[in-house]
Amino acid sequence: MKKVVLSTLASFSTLILRSLPALAASKPVELCPPGAVCTGTTTDPGVIIGNILNFLFILAAILSVAFLIWGGIKWITANGDKTKVQSARDTIIGAIIGLVVAFAAYFIINIVLTLLFGHGLGEMTVPTIFQ
């Protein structure tokens, strides 16, 4: 078993190390190419709100995964104690529910914004009253 794990690890590390020079040699991505009309600057309030919401959804997903791992660690260290196992099970169930709620909220908000306004969270714009 150790040989299989070590050979798999060696294969993946070789693939990753061989792809690094190709990644370093790639051309930089231009966010706003010359001559193009770019909208949604970083000072646009809609883009800022969209970025904040994206960050909060990512944070919620990371916290849910962290609680899922914590529940697994609690379960492993419970040593068969029924109250500790139940506590770990509750932590895992709560983490899974939190993860599902975070993903569902993100997708529902993106779908609603796309259907109503034609833009997702990353492309929100706030209309201006005065030009």
pLDDT in tens, 48-101: 777 788 888 889 989 999 999 999 999 999 988 999 999 999 999 999 999 999
Going by C-beta distance under 8 Å and a sequence separation of 6 or more, which residues neighbour residue 75?
Answer: 85, 88, 89, 92
Q: Report residue 90: phi and psi, to 5°.
A: -65, -40
Kindly state the DSSP code that residue 123 receives in the 8-state scheme.
G
3-state secondary structure of 39: coil
Overall pTM surpassing 0.75 (yes/no): no
Cβ pair 71, 95 in contact under 8 A: yes
Structure tokens at 1: 């078993």
